[in-house]
Structure formats: structure tokens, C-alpha cells
A = this chain, B = another copy of it.
Amino acid sequence: MPLPKDLVEGHRRFRRDIHASERGRYRQLAELGQTPTALVIGCCDARVDVSKIFDAEPGELFILRNVANLVPPYEPEGFYHGTSAAIEFAVLGLKVPHIIIGHSHCGGISAYRKMREGENIASEGPSFLGGGDSFISRWMTLLEGIELNESDVATYGEVMAMELAGVRSSLAKLRSFPALKEREAQGLVSLHGLHLDIGDNKLVQLDPAHGYFAPII
């Protein structure tokens, strides 16, 4: 199968209409390297376009995307820790001053909700592993033990409160990385917990002083 035509044409439009206005900036970034303002840990979901949501410039955001934008705990033993490697590279290599967890209601969270309610999502459909096991169900166990925040439930309902609990959990996991926690204490990096509503593209942010989520604009 060839590449989808819409993508080829989209690239043509990009080259013709969009790229021109930023040609110098891209060349500069290629030659001098990137110095992004923030690491964004976002979801793979096709309805979430992180750069567009912030109308970001080239080079502005270093973006990690995985299912449900989860952060694993600090595990010095593990091996192919793609997420931890990206965080390490952004924080210590690129020294980004901001880390943003931009959550959105994706299939991962709703699958996890079913797991909590007793369903065995691992055996729900075909998987790469078979036998009632799957990479995705293992990945989603990163959410194990999360607790809903009562004020989140009251303001946003139970479904979104679970998503917000995921954001709170990922922030806590980030702070389990000693070197990151140290940089936060020194005021060199700041953590921000955001939640994007896919339907209307509104962003709410965790207010660390008061512990609740409120619109950013």
C-alpha cells in the first residue's frame, strides 16, 4: 500500500504554504540545536494535537506521547524505559524549565475504568501477547491505586475526575525521580498538570496552591 494520498498532499501543502514562513527558524534550529521551553507528556490520541493547542513555534515544545500520557515510577533496574529516557533527556540533557502533563480522555483511561469495575480488559480482544494478557493492560496498571479527588468529582463528574486523578498520579511519579525532584526544589523546573477536553478543546490546569483544576484562560 502506498502512503495515504491525504498525507502526501498535506506534505505538499506544508512545503508550499506553511514551511516558507518559518524556513529561517527551522534552518537555525537544525544548525544550533533545540532549546525547548517545555517537555510536554501527552497522549497518542489522534484528537490531541499538542503543538496546535498551544499554537507553538518550531522548537518550542519537546513532546513525549504515550498511551494516556502516563509516567512510570523511578525504576533504576529496568531496561527499555522509553518514557524515563525521554524525561531524563529533556530534564538533564535539554534542561527544560517546564514539564506539562497534558491529559485527555482516551481509550486507555476508559479501559482502565472497566478494569477497576471488575472487567478483565486484558482478555477483551486480540493482543500481542495472547492468553488474557496484553501490553496495554500492563501499561495501564501504572494507574493502580489512584484515588479520585472529591472536589474533582463534585466539579467535573466521575469520568473526568478519573482522568484528573491520572494527571495527579503522573505528577507524583515524576517527583519520584530524585534528580527531577532536586531540580524542582532548586526552582530549575516547574511541573504543570493540565487536562484537555477533546470535544471543545478547553484546558484546565491544576492549581498547586489550592489543589483544584481551573481553566487556564
Contact = CB atoms under 8 A, between A and B. Distances in A.
Given A33-B33, A128-B92, A187-B1, A44 B26 contact: no
Contacts of A129: 76
A13 B129 CA distance: 38
A55 B211 CA distance: 29
Nearest to A89: B136
Given A14-B53, A38-B7, A2 B21 contact: yes
A160 interface: no
A64 interface: yes
B85 A139 contact: yes
A217 to B, nearest CB: 5
Given A14-B201, A47-B34, A177-B128, A5 B108 contact: no
A116 interface: no
Contact of A187 (B24, B108, B127, B179): B24
Given A26-B47, A88-B134, A21 B7 contact: no
Most chain B CB within a 10 A radius of its CB, from A55, A61, A183: A55
A107 interface: yes
29 contacts: A3-B98, A5-B10, A6-B56, A6-B57, A7-B56, A8-B216, A22-B97, A23-B186, A24-B97, A27-B95, A28-B95, A29-B46, A30-B105, A33-B35, A47-B59, A65-B65, A66-B66, A66-B83, A67-B86, A74-B128, A75-B80, A78-B80, A80-B139, A84-B135, A85-B134, A85-B136, A88-B134, A93-B107, A128-B180
Given A35-B35, A46-B61, 15 more contacts: A14-B54, A24-B189, A25-B97, A26-B200, A26-B201, A30-B197, A46-B59, A64-B66, A70-B82, A72-B82, A80-B83, A82-B82, A84-B135, A88-B135, A93-B125
